[in-house]
A and B are shown apart, each in its own frame.
Chain A
Amino acid sequence: MTDWTDIGALSDIPERGARVVKTHMGCVAVFRTVDDEVFAIDDACPHKGGPLSEGIVHGRSVTCPLHNMVLRLDTGQAQGADEGSVNTYAIRVESGRIMLDTARLRRGQVA
């Protein structure tokens, strides 16, 4: 089951940047790539919890600002020699609005 929620406009996120969405499950980082693709992943690096939303975005990856772990935005998987992953969340852009699937993110509150 999905629960598409309008979380803001695409233009609210800088190109190759990110903004966070606060949830009961912790912050989710919403990224916008140079090609205007959007991705949502947990805003905490699997390594030491670094805020991924503050990392440098390149292609479909982000480099954590604390210790440079590189994570794929589309799969949530760590790249290179590093191991680890973060949750990814379904997200899409409709007429310039960003729609995030919040079904999983609300569960914490329901439980």
Chain B
Amino acid sequence: MTKKLVVIGAGMASGRMLEHLFDTQAGRWDVTLFNAEPRGNYNRLMLSPVLSGDKTYAEIVTHDADWYETHGVTCRFGERVLRIDREARVAYGANGPVPYDRLVIATGSNPFMIPLPGHDLAGVIPYRDLEDTERMMGLGAKPGSKAVVIGGGLLGLEAAAGMAAQGVHVTVVHVMGHLMERQLDEAAGYLLKKALEAKGITVLTSANSKEIIGTNGHVSALLLDDGTELTCDLLVMAVGIRPNVALAKEAGLAVGRGIHVDDTMVTSDAHILALGECVEHQGAIFGLVAPLYDQAKVAADTLGDTPASFVPKEVATKLKVTGCDLFSAGDFAEGEGRDDIVFRDPSRGIYKRLVLEGERLIGAVMYGDTAHSAWFHGLIKDHTDVTAMRDTLIFGPAFQGGAQSDPLAAVAALPADAEICGCNGVCKSRIVDAIQGGATTLSDVRAQTKASASCGTCTGLVEQVMSLTLGDDFAPQTVKPMCPCTPLTHMDVRRLIKSQGLKSMAAVMQECGWTTSCGCASCRPALNYYLLCDWPGEYDDDDQSRFVNERMHSNIQKDGTYSVVPRMWGGITTPDELRAIADAAEKYEVQTVKVTGGQRIDLLGVKKQDLPDIWADLNAAGMVSGQAYAKGLRTVKTCVGTDHCRFGTQDSTGLGIRMEKALWGSWTPAKVKMAVSGCPRNCAESTCKDVGVICVDSGYVLHIGGAAGLHIQGTVVMCTVKTEDEVLEYTAAVVQLYREEAAYLERMYKWMDNVGLPHIVERVVTDADSRRALADRFYFAQQFMQQDPWAERTKPAYRALYAPLADLTLEAAE
């Protein structure tokens, strides 16, 4: 049996209610819909995009004529309801009465107009409906137009930004100390003010309006308390709304600030429901859309005799102003028992504040980066216990346990402007744009954006962006993850460390979604190196993440003893040093004294607990660690050069010493060996070293990428230079490039295979600025690196670590 339903008001709440009604109770109701505005339901929230020109009115209509017709709604648009006869159950429209079985009042609210002198002048408008929007849009058509907006709340700012986008000079006058004070704290309000000012909007806070001045009955200026006069062609008052209760009041319904409703949205008259901005529920009135939609669902259920009750939830605010990412939810006032977690990044204009009470998140304010706002809002709404994730809460869901299993999460979480390809300065959004523009393969993306087209170390990341954008259709090249703890490759991780500014192993593991609690013996040393290389002076070396040789600063031998190799600069030693070495060999019962392939003396078979003592003795004789164990610079082998050799063209020994003094101590992805030969006869075997120098009459030929280990490979010539200083600068630059780009444990020749010689030549030889920058970065890092590990480890704090923790054999002997 069809019943008569009359709905007064075609706003967002009643529109949503009708949808529910027709979905669940099709055919049950014969609906008459009154609306004072001469149109049906549209999305009022989208008036701001209409104002700013991002959308048209047609695009924000939620229910068109067809929809009303399909559902048999009798539309009486542009017609006011004059009164309600509750006894007779009849609503009297201006064009005639309509009887009802149930009545729904959804009259919304009226904008509040401050009764300032002059508020009734022409050109003083609220911001409420499409007509107001069109008035503001019309202003933009006249060049040089000026507008004043009174009210620095959500609506006022959207009006201001919308008009500014139309080219209007806008001044916002706000009585409070900061904008949107109901949703934002002071810091976020400050950032918002800055962002609006950057859009050319003048923002006056703590400003009291005194009088609206008119000329010929039309607004011409706003006068403030302090005497400031703001000329304007239009004055928009957006200071708040008042529930529209006149009709309900006149009908004798219970009304406070709004129409009183119970949890089922029924008013004091059982046949009449109310919902939307016109109602008051448990003392609260509503201006945001989320609770109105909840009310719509409850009202529809109530009409269908389905039990339902309206429970107000925390609501979130987002500002629909392009370029102002702002989010606010819950309660963020300070108070006893409440804790703040605040994150600020001044240069990027990012501010986040979370308010916790006990184990719950109760409020969140975010400016500049609102990517995780929905997640935070969920935590607030659901009253989630956040104790376990408190430490990383502010960094969002990617940092919490659940999201880590997604290998693409880290890349998905990157902001649009995150740099993916460092060589060509390509950010994530450019790659996404290219893919959305039709690029489907890596080479397409390379051709269009240049991303990964140079050194190629970002290929893995580019492919992940492609996977994210193209979905399952994209099959990336098979890339080898750096270890079982992560699906990411070494290069992906390196790039993320830089682009995300990750400065600790824990940060890398969390941000990149490590699947193990603290890595493994493979990734820990690699991460330690990457962090040390990328953040010199900021990241402290983690001893426990180094392989035993580097941790002990000695080579472990098969029987658990160690070998000790003092540094011998450029292969030169002295009788005193030899004497000290001989003494040490005797004193510590060294089994074997051996000259190494790199022109040094190796003392083999030293017991672990003797290490600090033998180091101390060698230190006392002026020798430091030769780092013969390091993934770092080991040795610079030399020949005798011009000093003694009849063929020598340059001082190869002296240059070797200079190079070794400049480069020792540096950590590199794998070991680095160098040599300087005084002439092309190449007695120092420079052509199988990572960096080899061959002196010729006209200068120095620089070779790179040799190896004589598992893999034997001759060097290639990088370039020829004229002076020793140039040798040093080029060498530092190429080593730094290798440090920054290679995967851990990747020898220089292997890296050269991957990136190609032209890339290295361009960065180190052709582009002088690049070379100097690389060399500068190398030397900057060196100031933190060039400390003799032996000297450090003979100090008492370290010494103990080389001795047994306890000796039960002694105790037992008592």
* B477 adjacent to chain A (CB < 8 Å): no
B516 close to A65 (CB less than 8 A):
no
* A102 adjacent to chain B (CB < 8 Å): yes
Question: Are A21 and B806 CB-contacts (below 8 A) given A34-B518, A58-B521, A63-B520?
Answer: yes
Q: Which residue of A has the minimal Cβ distance to B560?
A: A51
Given A16-B545, A58-B518, A68-B521: 4 more A-B contacts, CB < 8 Å = A21-B806, A24-B808, A55-B521, A66-B556
A 1-21 contacts with B by CB, 8 A: 5, 7-8, 12-17, 19-21
Measured CA separation A102–B809 after assembly (Å):
11
B543 close to A8 (CB less than 8 A):
no
Segment at the A interface, from B329-337, B547-555, B710-718 = B547-555
Q: Which residue of A has the minimal Cβ distance to B543?
A: A14
A9 nearest CB across to chain B (Å): 9
Number of A residues contacting the other chain (C-beta, 8 Å)? 40
A40 nearest CB across to chain B (Å): 10
Measured CA separation A22–B517 after assembly (Å):
31
Question: Are A12 and B805 CB-contacts (below 8 A) given A48-B558, A51-B560?
Answer: yes
A24 contacts across to B, CB distance below 8 A: 808-809, 812
A-B contact list, 20 entries, CB within 8 Å: A7-B805, A7-B808, A8-B806, A13-B805, A14-B543, A16-B545, A17-B543, A19-B801, A19-B804, A22-B808, A27-B804, A54-B552, A56-B545, A58-B520, A58-B521, A58-B524, A63-B521, A102-B808, A106-B808, A106-B812
* B525 adjacent to chain A (CB < 8 Å): yes
A106 contacts across to B, CB distance below 8 A: 808, 812
A6 nearest CB across to chain B (Å): 8
Interface of A toward B, CB cutoff 8 Å:
5, 7-8, 12-17, 19-24, 27, 30, 34, 48-51, 54-59, 61, 63, 65-66, 68, 70, 98, 100, 102, 105-106, 109
A105 close to B808 (CB less than 8 A):
yes
Among B544, B545, B801, B807, the residue within 8 A (CB) of A22 is B807
B 765-814 contacts with A by CB, 8 A: 800-801, 804-809, 812
Q: Which residue of A has the minimal Cβ distance to B517?
A: A59
Measured CA separation A19–B519 after assembly (Å):
21
Among A5, A50, A65, the residue within 8 A (CB) of B547 is A65
B484 nearest CB across to chain A (Å): 9
Among A17, A48, A61, A65, the residue within 8 A (CB) of B544 is A17
A109 contacts across to B, CB distance below 8 A: 812
Measured CA separation A23–B524 after assembly (Å):
31
Measured CA separation A16–B458 after assembly (Å):
32
Measured CA separation A65–B552 after assembly (Å):
12
Interface pairs A-B: 10 shortest CB-CB: A63-B521, A19-B805, A65-B548, A7-B806, A56-B521, A16-B544, A54-B548, A22-B807, A23-B808, A21-B806
Main SS class of interface, A: mixed
Q: Quick one: which of B543, B546, B547, B808 has the most chain A CB within 10 A?
A: B808
A20 close to B804 (CB less than 8 A):
yes
A17 nearest CB across to chain B (Å): 5
B619 nearest CB across to chain A (Å): 23
A15 contacts across to B, CB distance below 8 A: 544
Measured CA separation A1–B552 after assembly (Å):
38
A102 contacts across to B, CB distance below 8 A: 808
B597 nearest CB across to chain A (Å): 22
Measured CA separation A27–B551 after assembly (Å):
20
A20 contacts across to B, CB distance below 8 A: 804-805
Among A23, A55, A59, the residue within 8 A (CB) of B809 is A23
Q: Which residue of B has the minimal Cβ distance to A59?
A: B517
B349 nearest CB across to chain A (Å): 36
B516 contacts across to A, CB distance below 8 A: 58-59
Q: Which residue of B has the minimal Cβ distance to A13?
A: B805
Measured CA separation A19–B609 after assembly (Å):
12
Measured CA separation A22–B801 after assembly (Å):
14
B556 contacts across to A, CB distance below 8 A: 51, 54, 65-66
Measured CA separation A17–B798 after assembly (Å):
13
A92 nearest CB across to chain B (Å): 15
B659 nearest CB across to chain A (Å): 31
B518 close to A59 (CB less than 8 A):
yes
Among B545, B551, B800, the residue within 8 A (CB) of A54 is B551
B552 contacts across to A, CB distance below 8 A: 54
Q: Which residue of A has the minimal Cβ distance to B556?
A: A65
B548 contacts across to A, CB distance below 8 A: 51, 54-55, 65
Question: Are A8 and B805 CB-contacts (below 8 A) given A51-B560, A66-B558?
Answer: yes
